[in-house]
């Protein structure tokens, strides 16, 4: 089973001719409202990819809570550990430009009050605990400590930032997923210069026993353990909206690892899900199902080789 411990938001999305610079107003047509939040998006992506998923997090007692949870409910995600607190549901304001690139401003709301002890009695030894960083460092480090105690594996997604706080968190993490910017920031905290490039950053982040994955958008990904390296090229797709592509990647990767797929297949399925998620607007509405993921993953070439020293 996958336990996702993380943020739940409602996303207000405006498609714009271009993204504003500071101090500027750019006008778009009608806004759209979608369920979002990196935690919730990853939970939905894992469920759509075929995994059994429970979500641990919080929504407010407001009008946004029901739409924020609707897709998870529909996908059969166990929501019994989602708490309804006095306060506001997390809210993201998202602009998307004509190339599908986004700019996100986020109000944490009750996500800021999610606590690691909510996992007590919930997290089980066979679980894969999936974490992102829209919660603060304290609950995340508490969650990792609890996973270690019960014997659950941990997948940590660095998004939305590879800042120095993350460096203190990855010691007990089994799978680390970062984009190129996050990986460069984080590798810098380990003394590896930012200019070195994704493969070197990935090597700095895998340690002795971790799978480190650096996603490269349209250039695919590179991944490493101490013994092996993997490279996957991204499929060519028409990009409408990149919002949630990283979450779809993480959810599908987690689902594949949870069912025991080998790393090559799990990386191919994550890559396929991330690409398919760029072809529609909205972080969750674009999240593909297991059939679509498998069909595209079957076409991808995964290069893998032992690490040479």
Which parts of this chain interact with ligand RIB (CB under 6 A)? 7, 9, 11, 36-38, 41, 92, 104, 106, 134, 243-244, 246-247, 283
Closer residue to ligand RIB (CB): 41 or 71: 41
Taking the CA atoms of residue 137, residue 94, residue 99 and residue 185 in that order, the dihedral angle to the nearest 10 degrees is -20
Catalytic residue among 78, 97, 241, 247: 247
Q: What is the three-class DSSP state of 245?
A: helix
Closer residue to ligand RIB (CB): 3 or 157: 157
Q: List the structure tokens of 274.
A: 């991330």
Upstream peptide bond of 160 is cis (omega within 30 degrees of 0)? yes
If you ran DSSP here, which 8-state letter would residue 17 be given? S
The candidate with the shortest Cα–Cα distance to 55, out of 9, 107, 105, is: 9
Query: Smallest gap, in angstroms, from Cβ of residue 113 to ligand RIB?
Result: 16
Query: Smallest gap, in angstroms, from Cβ of residue 292 to ligand RIB?
Result: 20
Closer residue to ligand RIB (CB): 106 or 131: 106
Query: Smallest gap, in angstroms, from Cβ of residue 8 to ligand RIB?
Result: 9
**Would you tell me how many other CB atoms lie within 10 Å of the CB of residue 12?**
17
Closer residue to ligand RIB (CB): 7 or 65: 7
Closer residue to ligand RIB (CB): 244 or 274: 244
Query: Smallest gap, in angstroms, from Cβ of residue 264 to ligand RIB?
Result: 25
If you ran DSSP here, which 8-state letter would residue 231 be given? E
> Which residue, judged by CB position, is nearest to ligand RIB in the bound state?
36
Query: Smallest gap, in angstroms, from Cβ of residue 34 to ligand RIB?
Result: 7
Contacts with 25 (C-beta within 8 Å, 6 or more apart), sequence order: none
Contacts with 24 (C-beta within 8 Å, 6 or more apart), sequence order: none
Angstrom distance (rounded) from CA 65 to CA 136: 21
Distances (CA, A) of 222 to 112, 238, 296: 32, 22, 18
Angstrom distance (rounded) from CA 122 to CA 203: 34
Known active-site residue 247: yes
CA angle at residue 4 from 3 to 5, to 5 degrees?
115
Query: Smallest gap, in angstroms, from Cβ of residue 2 to ligand RIB?
Result: 17
Closer residue to ligand RIB (CB): 11 or 182: 11
Asked if residues 39 and 5 have their Cβ atoms less than 8 Å apart, the reply is yes
Kindly list the catalytic residues. Answer: 247
């Amino acid at each position: 089973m996958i336990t996702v411990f993380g943020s739940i938001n409602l996303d207000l999305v405006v498609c714009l001719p271009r993204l504003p610079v500071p101090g500027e107003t750019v006008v778009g047509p009608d806004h759209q409202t979608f369920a979002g939040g990196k935690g919730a998006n990853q939970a939905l992506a894992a469920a759509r990819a075929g995994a059994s998923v429970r979500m641990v997090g919080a929504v407010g007692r407001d009008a946004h809570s029901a739409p924020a949870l609707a897709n998870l409910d529909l996908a059969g995600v166990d929501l019994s550990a989602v708490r309804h607190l006095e306060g506001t549901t997390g809210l993201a304001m998202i602009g998307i430009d004509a190339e599908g690139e986004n700019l996100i401003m986020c109000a944490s709301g009750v996500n800021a009050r999610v606590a690691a002890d909510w996992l007590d009695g919930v997290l089980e030894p066979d679980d894969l605990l999936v974490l992102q960083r829209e919660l603060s460092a304290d609950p995340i480090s508490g969650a990792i400590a609890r996973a270690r105690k019960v014997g659950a594996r941990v997948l940590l997604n660095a998004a939305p930032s590879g800042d120095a706080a993350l460096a203190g968190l990855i010691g007990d993490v089994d799978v680390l997923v970062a984009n190129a910017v996050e990986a460069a920031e984080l590798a810098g905290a380990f003394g590896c210069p930012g200019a070195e490039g994704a493969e070197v950053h990935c090597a700095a982040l895998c340690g002795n026993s971790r799978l480190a994955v650096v996603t490269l958008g349209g250039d695919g990904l590179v991944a490493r353990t101490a013994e092996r390296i993997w490279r996957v090229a991204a499929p060519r797709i028409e990009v409408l909206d990149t919002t949630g592509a990283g979450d779809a990647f993480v959810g599908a990767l987690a689902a594949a690892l949870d069912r025991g797929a080998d790393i090559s297949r799990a990386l191919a399925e994550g890559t396929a899900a991330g690409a398919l998620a760029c072809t529609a607007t909205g972080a969750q509405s674009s999240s593909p199902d297991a059939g679509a993921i498998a069909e595209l993953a079957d076409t991808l070439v995964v290069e893998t080789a032992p690490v040479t020293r």
